[in-house]
Structure 1
Amino acid sequence: MPLSNQGLGVSFEPHDFWQSFAAPASFEADPAEGHLGFYPARLADGRQLPLPLRVLPGDGKAAVASLILNQASFAVEDGLAASLAGMLREKAPEVLIGVPTLGLPLASNVARRLGHTRMVPLGTSRKFWYRDDLSEPMKSITSPTAAKTLYVDPRMLPLLRGKRVAVIDDVISSGQSMGAVLRLLTKAEIEPIAIGCAMLQGAAWQESLAAWRDQIVAPLASPQFFLNELGRWSPVT
């Protein structure tokens, strides 16, 4: 079913999202009315990326703008990776850690742009040589009932300890997943100097990751939304 925004004269099929950036000011909805099917997130240079609005579980009155990076075109992934690499370059990370699942391709892309020869992935599939003391349970806003266990490969620790490490994920929303990552890295005696993601979603992460706010960078940000009296979605301010 196509998703449209009022007054813009455009609509998208679900598979059309995340395929290309639009020129600055391509999609401008009336803030007083709100949004219907999508939200145009903005890069620093003004380009827009239309994101579908997803209604959250519950009473149907809350929604978020969705970014599924492994369904994005290579052009969009490259654009987000280039922007994120630019933000991280001044922090001079020596190695990047990729968070599964959707943070892994982004971390690889960003690492190449920073001139790195590799990145270090965390995992959720336990290999027989992994250690329980280097694991941490993890949940996310998109999979609230599907708890996973996050691992760092003990063989990778020499690449990480004592280095300037940046952690890369696709989206930070509630902060639950990134909180699990940071607890795992603490167990492994690793303290990141930066956290990067493609998009900051809503504001809940600001409380759960308050101690890290100054180290978090992202090329996109989107608010959470509430259902207004017109039956459209208005940003939570």
Structure 2
Amino acid sequence: MQPHDFWQEIHPPETFERQPAEGHCGFFPAEFEDGRQLRLPIRELADGEHALASLIINQAGFAVEEALCASLAEKVRVFEPEVVVGLPTLGLTLASGTARKLGHSRYVPLGTSRKFWYREDLSVPMTSITSPEQVKRLYLDPRMLPVIENRRVLLVDDVISSGRSIVAALELLASCGIRPVVIGAAMLQTDAWREKLAAVDPRWPDRVIGVLRTPRLKRNAAGGWAPVELSPDLRAF
């Protein structure tokens, strides 16, 4: 596959082997709950021995984006969210589409670009796994406070990996007296995030909903990539 061909098509169940003996080569087939598969590129990490499956939702085909939003909306509907709050940057795409699928007329975007009317007390520092050395500030537009106060909030990010971005968002919302009823993501990348969220509140890991789930990968003797976190089921939960 060419790099620009990823994230453009959803394949029927069992199109690709889930755990081939030689390991995954070039892509990892992440699965929706109904078994449909999405090929994700494998990104080798700096140590040369480990890798992760990657999802960049704003480069996805519209059909893939819509499927991810529709699936997340269906999974979180039981929590009866009244407003969706999205994390920048790629989480905003998922938050917008999910809010539409839930029948909402709007969503609330958090931001990392400070407008002149923003307040420092409505911001927190934030880093992410894709830019660990770049410390930004995460802001809530003060004009959006009345939209989310005393409402059932769904907090959305595109991918939850280390958990750092989600924890920053939870800290920001907590400073406003807001505790989301559920956290949603297009993909849960490994289980590393669970410990970080549990440190904030042991109940949080069970309130995280993902459409796709992908493991940490390790290079095997055949030169392919095999899951490190072996699980009886790598499908979304």
TM over 0.5: yes
| Rounded Cα–Cα distance in structure 1 between residues aligned with 2:186 and 2:18 | 23
Match of 2:94 in 1: 106
Match of 1:33 in 2: 22
Asked if 1:56 is matched to 2:42, the reply is: no
Query: Normalising to structure 2: TM-score of the pair?
Result: 0.92
1:134/1:174 CA distance change after superposition, 3 Å: same
Deviation per CA, 1:167-189: give whole Å up to 9, x if none. Answer: 01100001011111111111121
Structure 1 gap ranges (5+): 1-11
Shift of 1:105: 1.4
Q: AA paired with 2:14?
A: A
Shift of 1:228: 1.8
CA-atom RMSD, angstroms? 1.1
Indicate the SS of the match to 2:89: coil
| Rounded Cα–Cα distance in structure 2 between residues aligned with 1:104 and 1:30 | 32
Deviation per CA, 1:124-180: give whole Å up to 9, x if none. Answer: 000111111111111111112222110001111111111100101100001011111
Indicate the SS of the match to 1:139: strand
Shift of 1:30: 4.7
Q: 2:176 aligns with which of 188, 191, 212?
A: 188
Instruction: Map 1:118-197 to 2 at 5 A.
Output: 118-197=106-185
| Rounded Cα–Cα distance in structure 1 between residues aligned with 2:94 and 2:49 | 31
Match of 1:3 in 2: none
| Rounded Cα–Cα distance in structure 2 between residues aligned with 1:29 and 1:110 | 27
Query: Normalising to structure 1: TM-score of the pair?
Result: 0.92
Shift of 1:29: 5.5
Indicate the SS of the match to 2:22: coil
| Rounded Cα–Cα distance in structure 2 between residues aligned with 1:151 and 1:189 | 15
| Rounded Cα–Cα distance in structure 2 between residues aligned with 1:88 and 1:186 | 21
Q: AA paired with 2:4?
A: H
Shift of 1:230: 2.2
Identity of aligned residues (%): 59
Shift of 1:104: 0.6
Indicate the SS of the match to 2:113: coil
> CA contact under 8 A between 2:19 and 2:226: conserved in structure 1?
no
Deviation per CA, 1:166-213: give whole Å up to 9, x if none. Answer: 101100001011111111111121100000010000110111112311
Shift of 1:216: 0.7
| Rounded Cα–Cα distance in structure 2 between residues aligned with 1:102 and 1:46 | 25
Deviation per CA, 1:84-130: give whole Å up to 9, x if none. Answer: 00011111000000110001111111111111110000000001111
Asked if 1:71 is matched to 2:50, the reply is: no
Structure 2 gap ranges (5+): 230-237
**Which piece of structure 1 moves more, 24-33 or 192-201?**
24-33
Asked if 1:93 is matched to 2:81, the reply is: yes
| Rounded Cα–Cα distance in structure 1 between residues aligned with 2:134 and 2:117 | 24
Q: AA paired with 2:207?
A: Q
